[in-house]
Amino acid sequence: MPGPFHINTPLVESVGMSRRLGTTVYLKMESSQPSGSFKIRGIGHLCQQMAMQSNGIVCSSGGNAGMAAAHVARKMGLPATIVVPSSSPPLVVQKLQDLGATVKITGEVWDEANTEALRLTETEGLTYVPPFDHPLLWEGHSTVITEIAASMGRKQKPGAVVVSVGGGGLLCGVAQGLRGLGWEDVPIVTMETVGADCFNAAVKAGTIVTLEAITSEAKCLGAKTVCRKAFQYSQSTEQAIISELVTDQQALHAVETFLDEERVLVELACGAALAAVYSGVIQRLQDEGRLPRPLGYLVVIVCGGSSINREQLANLQKKIPRPT
Ligand code: PLV
Q: Please state, in angstroms and rounded to a whole number, the distance separating the CA atoms of residues 296 and 38.
A: 24
Give the residue, by CA position, lying nearest to ligand 1 atom 7.
64
pLDDT tens for residues 132-170?
999 999 999 999 999 999 999 888 999 999 999 999 999
Please indicate whether residue 85, judged by its CB atom, sits closer than 6 Å to ligand 1: no
**Which DSSP category does 248 fall into?**
H
Closest CA to 103 of 66, 76, 146: 66
Helices 268-278 and 248-262 cross at an angle (nearest 10°) of: 80
166 CA from centroid of ligand 1 (Å): 5
Instruction: Determine the atom of ligand 1 nearest the C-alpha atom of 36.
Output: 10
64 CA from centroid of ligand 1 (Å): 6
User: Do the bridges between strand 298-302 and strand 160-164 make them parallel or antiparallel, or are there none, so unpaired?
Assistant: parallel
149 CA from centroid of ligand 1 (Å): 23
Q: Ligand 1, residues 84, 115, 170: which to mutate, most atoms within 8 A of Cβ?
A: 170
Contacts of 48 (CB under 8 A, 6+ apart): 1, 2, 3, 4
User: Do the bridges between strand 298-302 and strand 127-129 make them parallel or antiparallel, or are there none, so unpaired?
Assistant: unpaired
Strand residues in 125-253 grouped as ranges (E): 127-129, 160-164, 188-193, 241-246
114 CA from centroid of ligand 1 (Å): 14
pTM score of the predicted model: 0.98
Give the residue, by CA position, lying nearest to ligand 1 atom 1.
220
Q: pLDDT at position 322, please?
A: 81
- Cα dihedral sign for 54, 104, 82, 128? negative
- What SS3 class is residue 304? strand
Q: pLDDT at position 1, please?
A: 64
Closest CA to 123 of 83, 92, 87: 83
Residue stretches of the chain with pLDDT short of 50: none
